[in-house]
């Protein structure tokens, strides 16, 4: 270690104190990589600031010494966005977990970036309100990470991505400046809406330290049905009718192609097929609202109407919370089928909902022509235009994996889709960014990065592809 | 005119053709100022490009010659954001008015920037869908201007500001680069979400040329009631109950303080007081949904429950479209009371809904102490935390006007509010920006401006306050 590096690290240690600066063997294993990356990397040290002032002071020291920083929340990301690069510091938000306020009149919650999503959900619930952001990692993921990645999840159809719920944001810039815009107003057109720049930038433009989220009234009633149709087109016709007749009560519309359905119901314990016969397509439809009786009536009328119109072949309506859990477990079994698929690649793509069906047929045909032994399953959030693909990469070599990626991303590009609907880019997808973004778009992203972080100190090696020097 | 300027103008004239380049007396009067500014300014010429390629070519010429450009949509803005500055060109989008596509499956509409909001609403309506953006100027304002100003309007409570409906955007940068991100996906986390930078930047960072908006299902039924309560607090209790019991069916909740109410019902023809007695506070509540019978029942139950709880003193439920128009006309009569107020200043401020009542009492008390002869009326969108204030400035001198502004903006700052909820900053409010934005925030805005428009060519003199050179 050079003398100047040691001086910088000593300054950080003095600034953050023993609880805020962990080096050598004290560096926790969990801070060496996020959930998506196999090979851990050794950060120079793990910084654990106690508040915004410490984040700002630490960044000012890092800026002076040109030390890069990888920001970490709950480490549940799926694209390597929180994995340190060699020679960088890890800065974890794990000591900044306070829920500062729930305001029931303005319907807002204010929290530090390291607070888990679940802790926000519980604090909102205690006031009879709902935190609209929800995803499977809720118990571990940090709200700052949800904002930094513009997380999607289970309620996007009803409440939008995380961006839509963010009213206020506090951010520390690369030079240590604190930008505090913690207003609770739904409407604020006083100059540029700076928070929009940081939401979804995956820690590369600033460090989220505090968040104000809009809360919503808690639905008093939820209805759920698993529905079988002849094919994708019939399910999309049901979606259009559901939107028309259920309006904003519609809270989820999750689709499953039959290959996914069979793999789950035949292999995953507890995921029994609720239907007697096989069908061409399946969807899960959820409805929520303030009044049980009225919404239940509308929900039944929708299902009855779709059945009579010949759009639905069969349907199972949940009669209990246990039923709901059982039906959701089929949709949520993607992790459980990973062993069945063996070596595989997972995708999170989006496109116009109108072309989703054609995209899936196209990927399936191209895969079976190019890699006949590969198996692929398809499922996702049809109303959002977001499909998850899991495709086996038989043999698991880097070349085969790349071939599978190439097939899926080429087809995504063909349908003017996005290579990342909700998971972000991180380090794992940045070489594919140009499949969804034009050269002028990527050049403009670089221009923003250079303006906000001219020395490239924040989350190096993430989001933007490496620059080709000619 | 210098030779080099003449050369630049000749290049523009050749590039855009006779229909696209209007100079001298051919410059239409309407392009010399927007609706908010009294004194017209003479732009060097009025550019009227026919398509994105012409916008890009014109900007490339302007960039080469360092010629500033003021972008113009429907010219209905209220803050001087589209008024040319001396020595700048006006670039009007009025020839780019095409609705390019309505996609009923993806529920999107794609249009050129100059298309009127009403033309988008009509195209959506023809497919049984609703364009969520709506404001009084719909017949004249351009969708590009709605996006550039992140317009608010009548349906923010239900569908959010314009930003929330924008799925895709095409923008021309100051150097003529075209950034085309016209995806129809609700979810796209492939790198920075560049469109967010341009939405609400009032033409200072790029020129919006095409827009993709999300459409929503058209509510089949609408209910409306005018409600009288004892005071502001009772109305806010009704708002909380309306959100809980009506859920997302609640589409408007507009509040009126008694001074506004009396001025309108006593002075504006057609705005008769629907109540027999005077009350302490008034609100208009609107509900919409896919099914008349069910929503009407819920709406009646809400009103009945609030009455029985003692929150409501009286209520009038609209029984016909004519009733609805009559009740809305009381809320929409702000222009009609301008002559009653005489010389006055209008404000569009927002803050946490929890402090709105205190803010109004505070402004009223400060005004009556400082300017006893001044009269002020208050009304607005309570659920959004957005209040419009109209305060008379007796005598109408610049000093008196400034004093009135100072009182309202000081109180807004005191309550951590925004000096512009939905109208933007333009040229008229930029000197007040620091009342709602901190020095680091404004410095960061300048950094973004310098990164995207280093020569200051786009909409000069707007949004950002003049830099103080010491």
Task: Report d(CA B54, CA A110) in Å as an integer.
Answer: 46
Structure tokens at A229: 């149709």
Task: Report d(CA B42, CA B31) in Å as an integer.
Answer: 9
**Cβ of B293 under 8 Å from any chain A Cβ?**
no
Query: Do the chains contact at B188 and A421, CB–CB below 8 Å?
Result: yes
Distance from B186 to chain A by nearest Cα, in Å? 5
Decide whether B221-331 matches B338-435 in CATH topology. Answer: yes
Q: How far is CA A367 from the centre of its chain?
A: 26
CB-CB: which of A187, A219, A424 is closest to B152?
A187
Query: Do the chains contact at B448 and A197, CB–CB below 8 Å?
Result: yes
Q: What is the mean pLDDT of residues A21-43?
A: 84
Question: The domain A221-331: what is its CATH number?
Answer: 3.30.70.2190
Q: How far is CA B468 from the centre of its chain?
A: 29
Query: Do the chains contact at B106 and A385, CB–CB below 8 Å?
Result: yes
Query: Do the chains contact at A436 and B192, CB–CB below 8 Å?
Result: no
pLDDT at B184: 84
Alpha carbon distances (Å) from B396 to B343, B393, B404: 5, 5, 10
Q: Is the pLDDT of residue A87 over 70?
A: yes
Q: What is the mean pLDDT of residues B296-319?
A: 96
**Cβ of B297 under 8 Å from any chain A Cβ?**
yes
pLDDT at B29: 87
In this structure, whether the domain defined by B3-92 belongs to CATH 3.30.43.10 is answered with yes
The share of chain B scoring above pLDDT 70, in percent, equals: 99
Alpha carbon distances (Å) from B365 to A51, B370, B399: 39, 9, 20
pLDDT tens-digit profile of B192-211? Answer: 999 999 999 999 999 999 99
Alpha carbon distances (Å) from B43 to A326, A432, B83, B87, B431: 67, 45, 9, 6, 23
Show which of residues 77-106 on chain B sit within 8 Å of chain A, judged by CB atoms. Answer: 103-106
pLDDT band at B469 (very low <50, low <70, confident <90, very high): low
Give strand ranges (E) for B303-385: 314-317, 344-350, 376-381
**CB crowding A306-326: b at 16 or more within 10 Å, else e:** beeeebbbebbbbeeeebbeb
Task: Report d(CA A392, CA A429) in Å as an integer.
Answer: 18
**Radius of gyration for chain A, computed over Cα atoms and rounded to the nearest angstrom:** 23
Q: Is the pLDDT of residue A397 over 80?
A: yes
Residues of B in contact with A194 (CB under 8 A): 441, 444-445, 448
pLDDT band at B470 (very low <50, low <70, confident <90, very high): low
pLDDT band at B38 (very low <50, low <70, confident <90, very high): low
Query: Do the chains contact at B450 and A451, CB–CB below 8 Å?
Result: yes
Identify which of B21, B19, B171, B178 has the alpha carbon closest to the alpha carbon of residue B89.
B21
Q: Which H or E run contains B99?
A: strand B99-103
Interface size A-B, in CB pairs within 8 Å, comes to: 291
pLDDT tens-digit profile of B328-370? Answer: 999 989 889 999 999 999 999 999 888 999 999 999 999 999 9
**8 Å CB contact between B396 and A163:** no
CATH class of the region A99-217: alpha beta
pLDDT band at B86 (very low <50, low <70, confident <90, very high): confident
**Cβ of B152 under 8 Å from any chain A Cβ?**
yes
pLDDT at A2: 79
Give strand ranges (E) for A341-413: 344-350, 376-381, 386-392
pLDDT tens-digit profile of A243-263? Answer: 888 988 899 999 999 999 999
pLDDT tens-digit profile of A119-159? Answer: 999 999 999 999 999 988 999 999 999 999 999 987 899 99
**Cβ of A315 under 8 Å from any chain B Cβ?**
no
**Cβ of B181 under 8 Å from any chain A Cβ?**
yes
Please, what is the average pLDDT of chain A? 94
pLDDT at A320: 95
**Cβ of A422 under 8 Å from any chain B Cβ?**
yes
Distance from A11 to chain B by nearest Cα, in Å? 25
pLDDT at A470: 53
Q: Is the pLDDT of residue A44 over 90?
A: yes
Fold of B338-435: Alpha-Beta Plaits (3.30.70)
From the number of C-beta atoms within 10 Å of its C-beta (0-12, 13-18, 19+), residue A15 rates as: middle
**Cβ of B127 under 8 Å from any chain A Cβ?**
no
The share of chain B scoring above pLDDT 90, in percent, equals: 83
More confident residue, A466 or B293: A466
Q: Where do the domains of chain B lie?
A: 3-92, 99-217, 221-331, 338-435
Residues of B in contact with A428 (CB under 8 A): none
* First-last CA distance in chain B: 32
pLDDT at B396: 87
**Cβ of B180 under 8 Å from any chain A Cβ?**
yes
Query: Do the chains contact at B189 and A163, CB–CB below 8 Å?
Result: no
pLDDT tens-digit profile of A289-317? Answer: 887 788 898 999 999 999 999 999 999 99
**8 Å CB contact between B360 and B257:** yes
Query: Do the chains contact at A385 and B189, CB–CB below 8 Å?
Result: no
pLDDT tens-digit profile of B92-120? Answer: 999 999 999 999 888 999 999 999 999 99
pLDDT band at B383 (very low <50, low <70, confident <90, very high): confident
Task: Report d(CA B280, CA B294) in Å as an integer.
Answer: 32
**Cβ of B353 under 8 Å from any chain A Cβ?**
yes
Q: Is the pLDDT of residue B302 over 90?
A: yes
Give strand ranges (E) for A266-408: 281-289, 314-317, 344-350, 376-381, 386-392
**Cβ of A419 under 8 Å from any chain B Cβ?**
yes
């Amino acid at each position: 270690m050079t003398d100047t590096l040691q001086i910088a690290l000593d300054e950080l240690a003095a600034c953050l104190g023993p609880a805020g600066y962990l080096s050598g063997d004290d560096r926790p294993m969990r801070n060496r990589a996020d959930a998506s990356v196999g090979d851990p990397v050794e950060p120079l040290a793990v910084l654990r600031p106690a508040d915004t002032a410490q984040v700002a002071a630490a960044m000012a020291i890092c800026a002076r010494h040109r030390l890069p920083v990888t920001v970490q929340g709950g480490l549940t990301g799926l694209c390597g966005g929180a994995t340190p690069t060699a020679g960088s510091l890890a800065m974890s938000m794990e000591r900044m977990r306070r829920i500062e306020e729930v305001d029931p009149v303005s319907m807002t919650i204010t929290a530090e970036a390291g607070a888990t999503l679940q802790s926000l959900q519980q604090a909102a619930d205690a006031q009879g309100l709902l935190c609209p952001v929800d995803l499977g990692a809720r118990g571990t993921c940090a709200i700052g990470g949800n904002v930094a990645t513009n997380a999607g999840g289970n309620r996007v159809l009803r409440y939008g991505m995380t961006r839509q719920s963010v009213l206020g944001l506090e951010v520390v810039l690369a030079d240590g400046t604190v930008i505090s815009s913690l207003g609770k107003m739904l409407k604020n057109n006083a100059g540029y809406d700076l928070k929009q720049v940081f939401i979804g930038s995956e820690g590369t433009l600033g460090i989220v330290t505090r968040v104000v989220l809009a809360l919503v009234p808690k639905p008093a009633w939820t209805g759920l049905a698993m529905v079988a149709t002849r094919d994708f087109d019939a399910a999309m016709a049901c979606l259009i009718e559901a939107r028309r007749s259920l309006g904003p009560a519609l809270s989820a519309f999750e689709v499953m192609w039959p290959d996914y359905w069979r793999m789950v119901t035949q292999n995953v314990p507890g995921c029994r097929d609720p239907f007697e016969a096989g069908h061409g397509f399946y969807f899960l439809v959820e409805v929520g609202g303030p009044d049980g009786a009225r919404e239940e009536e509308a929900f039944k009328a929708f299902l009855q109407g779709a059945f009579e119109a010949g759009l639905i072949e069969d349907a199972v309506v949940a009669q209990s919370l246990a039923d709901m859990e059982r039906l959701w477990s089929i949709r949520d079994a993607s992790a459980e089928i990973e062993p069945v698929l063996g070596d595989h690649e997972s995708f999170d793509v989006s496109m116009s909902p109108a072309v989703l069906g054609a995209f899936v047929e196209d990927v399936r045909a191209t895969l079976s022509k190019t890699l006949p032994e590969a198996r692929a399953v398809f499922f996702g959030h049809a109303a959002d235009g977001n499909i998850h693909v899991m495709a086996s990469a038989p043999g698991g070599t880097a070349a085969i994996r790349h071939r599978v990626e190439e097939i899926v991303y080429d087809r995504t590009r063909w349908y003017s889709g996005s290579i990342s609907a909700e998971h972000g880019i991180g380090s794992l997808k940045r070489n594919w960014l140009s499949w969804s973004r034009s050269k002028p778009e990527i050049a403009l992203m670089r221009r923003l990065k250079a303006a906000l972080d001219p020395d490239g100190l924040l989350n190096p090696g993430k989001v933007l592809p490496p620059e080709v020097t000619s």
